[in-house]
Amino acid sequence: MAKYNVFDCSIVELDRHHSDRKGNLTVVENGSTFPFDVKRVYYLYDIPGGEGRGAHAHRELEQLIISASGSFTVTLDDGKSKRSFFLNRPYQGLYVKSGLWRDLVDFSSGAVAMVVASDIYRKDDYIREYSEFLKYRNNE
């Protein structure tokens, strides 16, 4: 099966409900927001300055990565090209397709990275060695 590249990934504008007096609300809903069923939500927070997260690829998992608070940068890598996305709006999500390496860096103080995922946690779905990732990508 053909693998996705970094140009298949983009920032998705999410539903935003604004109330003048009461602030904003954003919805991520199965079936309408993006083309995968939501099986899991997790979030990264209290990330010390200068620390990076991610540094792995997923074979099958698809994700929507949202900056629920603060900002950070996600760099995607398909083995040939890299693309960086700056996330700093709670109503924008980066749709990350399967088979891509991701690095999350430059977290602002108090940043919360919320990840909406297409499957439960499966250790076998991870590729954590970059050299193994390149082998996996070149095997297409």
The residues binding ligand TYD (CB under 6 A) are 40, 42, 44, 53-54, 56, 121
C-beta of residue 9 within 8 angstroms of C-beta of residue 95: yes
Read off the tokens for 140.
């297409």
The residues carrying an active-site annotation are 56
For the bound state, the minimum distance from the C-beta of residue 51 to ligand TYD, rounded and expressed in Å, comes to: 9
Residue carrying the six token digits 């999410």: 14
- What percent helix, strand, coil does the chain show, rounded to 5? 10, 45, 45
Q: Which is nearer to ligand TYD, 7 or 121 (CB)?
A: 121
Q: Which two tokens stand for residue 48?
A: 């010390």
Min separation Cβ 134 and ligand TYD, Å: 19
Q: How far is the CB of 119 from ligand TYD (least distance, A)?
A: 10
User: CA 42: distance to chain centroid?
Assistant: 11
Question: Least distance (Å) from ligand TYD to the CB of residue 44?
Answer: 5
Report d(CA 103, CA 76) in Å as an integer. Answer: 7
Whether the Cβ atoms of residue 36 and residue 4 lie closer than 8 Å to each other = no
